[in-house]
Structure 1
Amino acid sequence: MEDNDMICNCMGLTVRDIKDAIDNGAKSFDDVQEATQVATGCGACEESVRELVDELLAEK
């Protein structure tokens, strides 16, 4: 995925927004969700965002 790819349409969030949340200290999906409100609209993106967060945290 590219940084500018939309990951959460409801909240208008991109992959970069998720990376930024992790760079700013988020240590879990719940932390990322609290920081960005990702997957709090319709929830359709939750599975893909959880996978992305897991991948990004594993790289750290």
Structure 2
Amino acid sequence: MSKSDNLNLPIYDNRGKPLELAYHVTYTLRLKNGYILALKPGEHIVRMPNLLATDVKRRA
């Protein structure tokens, strides 16, 4: 088995905005197009474009 690089994938909420995870909140995590989507109870995925393609900082 080879060692994997520790990559920090960006985490977004259900509307595509960057999210900092909070304590004492239960999230459902989905891996989508190279980023993590964190959903709180009762939230669902809103149709959004590939966030990494539109993120200017990640292109460079």
Q: Same fold (TM over 0.5)?
A: no
The TM-score with structure 2 as length reference comes to: 0.27
The TM-score with structure 1 as length reference comes to: 0.27
More helix by share: 1
* Rg comparison, structure with higher value: 2
